[in-house]
Amino acid sequence: MSFPSELRHVASPSQPRLRRADVAANDDRRLPTRPTPARRLRTNPFLAAFALAGLTYAVTTAALIAIVMPAIPPGSLALGSANGAAGMFVVASLVPAVITGLLAQQSRRAWRVSRIAATYLPMFLLVAALQFAGPAAEALLLTRAAG
């Protein structure tokens, strides 16, 4: 085996290259098709769940910056707590993504992206509410004790 054509199939110059239309008519030789993005999201539920996690993290962090940052005076210590709140969205985004990915992976049927979103978004809201409820309750207890 000294020739490259013996190692892999190399079309000789005398053979014309086949186009997709020609191959589609010929049933015994089909070219591999690339999966569409929608099919890729359906076959890989973690990809869809983490794409939603990234999207919700970006939207919620942008909303936090747009609402909270103008109210914080420059050089204030509250700026650090606003950055910490934006960091809390990381956990609130990733935990539901992992749970949704596991649920979709264990399912017998492939989940559509809309079903993944319908499962992910309520879990995101629940985890975010639970995550912000702890510091809010602590701040409320501190203000009652001080006042």
pLDDT for the residue 144: 76
Provide the whole-model pTM.
Answer: 0.61
**Amino acid found at 93:** S
Task: Please answer whether residues 47 and 40 qualify as being in contact, where contact means their C-beta atoms are separated by less than 8 angstroms.
Answer: yes
Instruction: Give the pair of three-digit tokens for residue 129.
Output: 């509410």
Mind listing the pLDDT tens digit for each residue in 13-63?
A: 665 565 555 555 554 555 557 777 767 766 788 888 999 899 998 898 888
pLDDT for the residue 6: 54
